A = this chain, B = another copy of it.
Amino acid sequence: MSLVHSLGEAAARLQRADTTPTALLNECLERIHAWEKTIHAWVCLDEDRARREAQRLGEELASGKPPRSPLHGVPVGIKDIFDVAGLPTQAGSPLLRGNVATRDAALVARLRQAGAVIVGKTVTTEFACFDPSPTCNPWRVTHTPGGSSSGSAAALATGMCFAALGSQTGGSITRPASYCGVCGLKPTFGALSLQGVTPVSFHLDHPGPMARTVDDLTILWRLLSGEEGPDAHSESRPTPPRIGLLGEFFDERADAAVRAATQDAMQRLAQSGAQIKPLPLPRDFLEVHSNHRRIMAVEAAEHHRWQYHAHSDQYGPNMSALIEEGLSITAVDYAAALKFQTTFRHEAMDLLTEVDVLATSATPTPAPGSLETTGDPAFNSPWSLAGLPTVCFPCGVSPEGLPCGLQLIGRWRGEEPLLEAARWCEKVLEFQNRPSSEETIPG
C-alpha cells in the first residue's frame, strides 16, 4: 500500500467521487491499526463516531450537495490539549484523567463545521511542555518525534490522518514537524482562537495546523482563520521569494547534517531564482531564550500553582522544574521580560523590510536518538516570542536517513505571503516526505 496522498489530493478525489469519506477513514484506520502499537501517536480514538460522521458526510456528497470545504469527509487528528466534545482532554497529565470536554474548542468546531472527520486525540507531552510522551518517530522508532505536538506529527508522517491540530509555545509545532518530515504552520500570535485549549503561557501560546504539504497548510489556515486567499489565478504563478538567511547563532548551533541540508536547499532555491540575502541577527537576539523561558515559566506556574501545591507528585520532572522556576521569579523581572518581548518583536519585524521571508534551519539537529528528550526548540522559540508566523517543511535527509526541515518566518499577520513563499520553495525542493519503508516501521 503506497502512502496516502495529501489533503488536497483527498479533497480532489472526493470531489470527483473517486473515493468516499468512509473509504478515506478506513485507509487511515488501517494504518492506525497496523502501526499505532509501535508509534503511540494517539491518546484515544473515536472510531464509532468517526465512522458515523464519515457515513453522513458521504451521504451529503452522494445526494449531490457540494462539499462544505476542502476538508469535507477528510480524517483529522486533534492534539490532546484541544477540547473535543465527548472526549477527555488529558493534556498528557494524570491529573486530567477523565476530564471529558462538554463542547468543542473554537478551532475544533471550525474543523467540524467544515466537514472534517475527527479520528481522535493525538498525544501531547505533559501539559504541552518538556516531559516526553511515549510517541516514537516513524522514521526511526528509537528517536524522538519531537514535542509537544508529538502525536500529530507522527500520525501525519504515517498517514494515520490528513491534517492535525498542534500548538506551539516554544517549538512545539515546528520541531516535531521537522523531526517527522511533515509541515507545520505557527500563525501570528493571537491570529487563531485559543478558546477551549489547555493553556501553557498566555503571552506565547500559538495554536496551528500541521499537514503533509504546504498546500495543505494553506487550505487549513484559510479554513481556521476564516480568511480568504488571493484568487486562483494569482496563486498559479508564484514568484521566487526574497529570502533573508539568518546565520550566526543558527550556524553555530546546527550540526553538520542540518547545515548541509540547509545549504543545499538554499543553493537549489537560488538556482531557481530566489534571492538569498544573508542577514545579521537582531541586536538583542542572544537574550531571546532567557526571556522566553522566563515568561513561559511564570505563566505556566501561574496556571498550575494551586494544583501543583496540592499534587506536586503528579507532575513530571521538567514540568516541576518549570513551575518551581516560575514561582521563584519576581514581578519586575517578569515585567522586564514582557517589555523585551515587545522590543524583540519590533526588531524581528524590522528584519523583514527588505525581504519577503526569513529562513533558518528548522532544528539544530535531526531527531535525537532518544525517547528521553523532545529535542531542542532553540531555533523556534525566538519566533514564538516575537509572535511572527512561521512555516516548517522538509528540505532534505541527513546521512542517517532522517528528515531535515526548513523554517521560514513571515511578517506579522502575513500568513498568506509566507505560505506562498513556502509553496514555491516546497515545489523547488521536491522533498518526498515519506518516512516509512516496511523496514523502518514495523507493521
Chain A residues in the interface with B (C-beta under 8 A):
202, 298-299, 301-302, 305, 326-327, 329-336, 338-339
Measured CB to CB, the nearest residue on chain B to A202 is B339
Measured CB to CB, the nearest residue on chain B to A294 is B331
Once bound together, how far apart are the Cα atoms of A202 and B332, in whole Å?
Answer: 12
Least Cβ distance of A341 to chain B in Å? 11
Instruction: Enumerate chain B residues within 8 angstroms of A305, measured Cβ to Cβ.
Output: 332
Measured CB to CB, the nearest residue on chain B to A337 is B331
Instruction: Enumerate chain B residues within 8 angstroms of A335, measured Cβ to Cβ.
Output: 202, 298-299, 302, 334
Interchain CB contact under 8 A, A331 and B298: yes
Once bound together, how far apart are the Cα atoms of A339 and B205, in whole Å?
Answer: 14
Once bound together, how far apart are the Cα atoms of A403 and B199, in whole Å?
Answer: 48
10 contacts between A and B (CB under 8 A): A301-B331, A302-B331, A302-B332, A302-B336, A305-B332, A326-B332, A327-B330, A329-B331, A331-B331, A334-B335
Measured CB to CB, the nearest residue on chain B to A329 is B331
Measured CB to CB, the nearest residue on chain B to A298 is B331
Shortest Cβ-Cβ A-B pairs, 6 listed: A331-B334, A302-B335, A329-B331, A298-B331, A302-B332, A331-B331
20 additional contacts, CB 8 Å, given A298-B335, A330-B330? A202-B335, A202-B338, A202-B339, A298-B331, A302-B331, A302-B332, A302-B336, A302-B339, A305-B332, A326-B331, A326-B332, A327-B330, A327-B332, A329-B330, A329-B331, A329-B332, A330-B331, A331-B331, A331-B333, A331-B334
Once bound together, how far apart are the Cα atoms of A319 and B301, in whole Å?
Answer: 30
Interface centre among A302, A326, A333, A339 (most CB of B within 10 A): A302
Once bound together, how far apart are the Cα atoms of A3 and B305, in whole Å?
Answer: 60
Least Cβ distance of A403 to chain B in Å? 37
Least Cβ distance of A51 to chain B in Å? 39
Once bound together, how far apart are the Cα atoms of A334 and B202, in whole Å?
Answer: 13
Once bound together, how far apart are the Cα atoms of A335 and B298, in whole Å?
Answer: 7
Least Cβ distance of A295 to chain B in Å? 9
Instruction: Enumerate chain B residues within 8 angstroms of A333, measured Cβ to Cβ.
Output: 331
Once bound together, how far apart are the Cα atoms of A339 and B300, in whole Å?
Answer: 13
Once bound together, how far apart are the Cα atoms of A114 and B418, in whole Å?
Answer: 39
Once bound together, how far apart are the Cα atoms of A326 and B330, in whole Å?
Answer: 9
Least Cβ distance of A202 to chain B in Å? 7
Once bound together, how far apart are the Cα atoms of A281 and B351, in whole Å?
Answer: 46
Interchain CB contact under 8 A, B202 and A298: no
Instruction: Enumerate chain B residues within 8 angstroms of A331, measured Cβ to Cβ.
Output: 298, 301-302, 326, 329-331, 333-334
